[in-house]
Amino acid sequence: MEGTAQLKKNGKFMSLREAVSLIRDGDQVTLGGFTTNRNPMALCREMIRQAKKDIYLTVHSHGQGMELLIGAGCVSRVELAYGGVARFAPTGIRFRKAVCSGELQVEDYSNFHMILRFVAGAMGLPFIATTSGLETDIIKKMGFPEEIRGKGQVPRHKLKVMCNPWNEEAGDVVLLPPLNPDVALIHAQYVGEDGTARIQGLTFADLEEAKASKLVIVTCEEIVPTEFIRKDPDQNSLPHFLIDAIVRAPYGAHPTACHNFYDYDSKHLRVSAEMSKKDEDFQKYLDEWVYPFETQEEYLAKVGTEELLRIKANPAFGYAPGLDRR
């Protein structure tokens, strides 16, 4: 474990608790993954345990992690394209409740808008242009109150429409503000002892989110030797110096999936959706599945060997073939 000692020395390798303590109340936070896949769940659960407040989420299509954070009262504002947990909750149940009750301020974009905004943030662009959404209410309706515009991380304008400067007859274009979140939370399959991250399967918007963010926290299934991860650099996703905190968290995306490691836990997602419907049941969910565990290992003991083996990925497929997903 000489490598691990080295990582500890360079200060990046830490516990869930230490990593999440780097997130401040009020931070703008982006989440890796997509609806039921590779959500940074271990980090989200720890955020709830640390009772983070006033978090400003900027995401594309989320997801189980967002549901828990909103339900636990950690989030006060969100910019997003889609809030749902696939078939388990086609509209996020806690998301819907929080929006309809006015507890959560929301501003809607499209998925392409959001990925472009992360790209702009990552590239240092002042804004980025597209024609997606022209004439829709995404362009016409603002979700945030005027008095918070231009303050903190809230963009002065949600977006701007202007005439295409290259061809006035081509109609209008939409200018979008870049995103540079305070924190990106990412779950990866592998991180090398040097800190290099490797994401397998689809990367969604994780790479752009990480590159755009000021602080990057990565949990991973395995920490592998530097020689191993550098033997095949074509497969690597993020350079080590962009990542500020690394936590080994096996099954860290559970109950969402992690390609090549495990499938989504449809049984758990069903229970979680059911328990999200009433406030008192959701509180019970948190009491049962979030608050009691200080470490990922304790959480996994609660999930149980049988369930973990049930969803374990077959290496020939990257998922659990024949899994009962009803």
Partner 1 sequence: MGGYTSREIMSISAGRLVKDGDILFAGTGVSLLAATVAKRIHAPGSIVFFETGGIDPSLQEMPLSVADPRVMVGSSINSGLAESLSLLAHPKLRTIGFVGAAQIDRFGNINSTCLGDYCRPKNRFPGAGGACDAFSFAYGMVIFMTHEKRRFVEKLDYMSSPGWLTGGDARKRAGYRRGGPMAVVTNMAVMKFDETTREMYLAEYYPGVDPEKIRENTGFPIDISRAVPFTPPTDEELSTLREKVDPQRLILGAPAE
Asked if 263 is part of the footprint of partner 1 (rule: CB under 8 A), the reply reads yes
**Residue 142: how many CB atoms within 10 A of its CB?**
12
Nearer to partner 1, 22 or 129 (CB): 129
When asked if residue 307 is in the footprint of partner 1 (CB under 8 A), the reply is: no
Q: Examine residue 138 and tell whether it contacts partner 1 (CB under 8 A).
A: yes
What is the nearest approach in angstroms of partner 1 to the Cβ of residue 90? 6
For residues 11 to 50, the per-residue mask of contacts with partner 1, x marking binding by CB under 8 A and - elsewhere, is: ----------------------xxxxx-------------
Pick the binder of partner 1 from 42, 70, 128, 173 (CB under 8 A).
173
Q: Does 172 help bind partner 1 (rule: CB under 8 A)? A: yes
Distance in angstroms (rounded) separating the CA atoms of residues 13 and 245? 6
Query: Please, what is the end-to-end C-alpha distance for the chain in angstroms?
Result: 42
Q: CA–CA separation, 38 vs 302, rounded Å? A: 20
Q: Which residues contact 221 (CB under 8 A, 6 or more apart)?
A: 188, 189, 190, 248, 249, 250, 251, 252, 258, 261
CB 183 within 8 A of CB 214: yes
Strand, helix or coil at 53?
coil
Nearer to partner 1, 51 or 162 (CB): 162
Nearest to 275 by CA among 287, 265, 257, 292: 287
- Rounded-to-integer distance, Cα 77 and Cα 73, Å: 11
Count, residues near partner 1 per rule CB under 8 A: 68
Contact with partner 1 (CB under 8 A) among 21, 26, 87, 160: 87
Identify the residue among 15, 50, 86, 310 touching partner 1 (CB under 8 A): 86
Of 109, 73, 110, 67, give the one whose Cα is nearest residue 88.
67
By CB under 8 A, residue 65 contacts partner 1 = no
Give the shortest CB-229-to-partner 1 separation in angstroms.
19
Contact positions toward partner 1, by CB under 8 A?
Answer: 33-37, 60-61, 80-84, 86-87, 90-92, 95-96, 99-100, 102, 108-116, 119, 131-138, 141, 143, 164, 170-173, 201-208, 257, 259, 263-264, 266, 313, 317-319, 321-322, 325-326
